Amino acid sequence: MMEAFEDFAEFLTNSGVPEIVEHIFSYLDYNDLKNAELVCKLWYNVIRNGRNWRRCLDKMLCNDTLRKIYSRYTEEPISTPRRSIVQTNDPVFFKAACYTVKHFHQRLLYNWMTGAQQEEWSPGINVPGKKVCFEMNSRYIVIGQIDGKILVLNREDSTLKHHPTRDLKLEGSPSEMNCMQMNEKNILVCGGLKGLITFWDIHLGKLLSRFQQNEIYNVKYLKLGKELLISGSNLQETSESRLTIWDIKNVSQISRKEEIWFPIQTIFGLGLDDKFIVVLTGKESLFEVQVRLTQDPLILVHSISYHSHSDAFCGFHYEHGFIAAGSYDGKIRIWNAETGICRRILLRPSYDLGPVWLRFNSRFLVTNNSRGISIWSFKEAVSTSIPPYMKLHYCSFQTRSGSRSEQ
C-alpha cells in the first residue's frame, strides 16, 4: 500500500507501471504541464521523455487554423486529425512547438477580440440617395452621387453618434459621376459622363478646374499622382477605350501628355506610382494587365493575360509594386510589377465567388462583395520564404446572415 507521504509518480514508477504516470500527465494542458516539470526531478524526467509534450501538442492543434499556421511555419505537411503532425522524438522540439502554438492562439484571440471591438465601435453612416463612388483620406470621407452631388463628411465627426456631420454639396458637377480620387492634400478629382473631369479643394469647398476631354467617352477610372493624372475612358455602348495621361503640375493649366487607344478592349482598372502605370483591360472573359513606364507610357514593360470565366469585373488594385486582380472563379492573382511574375494565387471562400471589390496595403489584402468580407495577410502573400503553392489562412465574415466565421 502507498504510504501517505509517498509521491504517486514515484510509487507507480517503482511498481513497474510508469505508463500510468504518463497517462495521468496527459490530461494536463500546456501551463499545467510546464508547472508540473518544476515539482521535482522525477516529474521533470517523466514529462521530459517527449510523449507528454507530444500529446499536448496534438491536443493544441485540434483547431484547423492553428494547424495551418503551425504547418506553414515548421514546413511540415498538414496531417489528418488522428495523426501527429510531426514524427520526431525530440522532447525539446515538442515543448518549443507547444509554446509556439500557444503564442499563435493568443495572437489570434487578440486580433479577433480587437476586431470585434472595432466592428462594434464603428457606427454606419446613412447617406440618402443612390451612391455611385466613394473616396476618403485621413481627414475626409467623400461620397459621389448619381445626380452629381458630392457629400463631404469629416471622419472624426462621423464616428460620433450625437455630433452632426457636415453635409456639403459641391456645385459644378451637373452630370453623373462615375469615379473619384482624393489625396492627402484634400484635392479631389472626379470623372463622369461625356468626358467631364473636375478638380476640387475639399477643405475650402472650391472648384479648382473643370474640363471635358471628349464628349463621346465616359470617364470610368482615375488615378491621381504627384504630377500626373491618368484617366480611363470607355466609348459609349462599345468596347473601345482610351488611356489618357494628364500633366497636372499646374491645376489651372492642365495639359494632355499622352493618349493610348484600345480599339477592342474595355478598361476595368488603373494603377499609378512614380515607376509604373498599370492598366487592366478586358474583352469577354479574357483580361490583360499592361505595365507601362510612368516616364514614357508608350513603352510597354509587361503584358499579362488571364481568363476570368466571365466578362464581369472581379476586382483590381496596384500598390507597393504589386498587382492584384480577381477572377469570377474565386481566384486572386498577385504579380510583381517589376518582373511580371505571378507571386501567388489566393482562393476566396466558396460562398464568395463572382464579382468582388479588392484592396490591399502593406499589411492586409481585403476582398468584399454582397456575400461577405475576406482578409489575408499581404506580407505572407508576397513573401519569398513561403512557397507559392502553399495555401494561406484568412479570416472571413459572411455579411448576408450576419454571422462570422474564421477560416
pLDDT band at 403 (very low <50, low <70, confident <90, very high): very low
pLDDT at residue 36 in the model: 82
pLDDT at position 10 is 77
Between 405 and 95, the more confident residue is 95
Query: pLDDT at position 156, please?
Result: 67
263 versus 398: the higher-pLDDT residue is 263
Burial class (CB in 10 A: 0-12, 13-18, 19+), 358: buried
Identify the residue whose cell numbers are 517589376: 338
**For residues 309-322, average pLDDT:** 83
Give the model confidence (pLDDT) of 124-155 as tens digits.
555 555 656 788 888 888 888 766 778 888 87
Residue 118's pLDDT band, with cuts at 50, 70 and 90, is very low
**Per-residue pLDDT at 163:** 33
**Residue 164: per-residue pLDDT:** 36
Q: Which residue has the higher pLDDT, 131 or 160?
A: 131
- The residue assigned the cell 521530459 is 48
| Cα distance between residue 90 and residue 54, in whole Å | 9
Q: Superfamily assignment of 125-268 in CATH?
A: YVTN repeat-like/Quinoprotein amine dehydrogenase (2.130.10.10)
CA 12-15-17 angle, to 5 degrees, is 60
User: Hey, what's the cell of 43?
Assistant: 516529474
pLDDT digits (tens, 9 = 90+) for 282-314: 887 889 999 999 999 999 999 999 887 766 778
The full set of domain ranges for the chain reads 8-120, 125-268, 308-407
pLDDT at 347: 82
Q: Which residue has the higher pLDDT, 373 or 405?
A: 373
Q: Which residue has the cell 468584399?
A: 368
* pLDDT at position 157: 59
On whether the CB atoms of residues 47 and 53 are closer than 8 A, the answer is: yes
pLDDT tens across 164-178, in order?
Answer: 334 455 554 555 778
Residue 379 has pLDDT above 90, yes or no: no
Residues in CB range of 322: below 8 A, 6 or more apart: 334, 335, 336, 337, 343, 360, 382
- φ, ψ for residue 218 (rounded to 5)? -105, 130
On the question of pLDDT at 277 being above 90, the answer is yes
If one counts every other C-beta atom within 10 angstroms of the C-beta of residue 341, the result is 12
- Residues listed for the chain: 407
Q: Specify the pTM.
A: 0.64
Query: How far is residue 262 from each of residues 75, 224, 279, measured CA to CA in Å?
Result: 46, 21, 11
In this prediction, residues 241-257 reach a mean pLDDT of 90
pLDDT value of residue 406: 35
- Residue 367's Cα: distance from chain center in Å? 6
Q: Which fold has domain 308-407?
A: Lipocalin (2.40.128)
Only one residue has cell 479643394, namely: 201
Q: Hey, which residues does 143 pair with through a beta bridge?
A: 134, 151
Out of 5-14, 57-66, 78-87, 205-214, least confident range? 78-87
The architecture (CATH level 2) of 8-120 comes to Up-down Bundle (1.20)
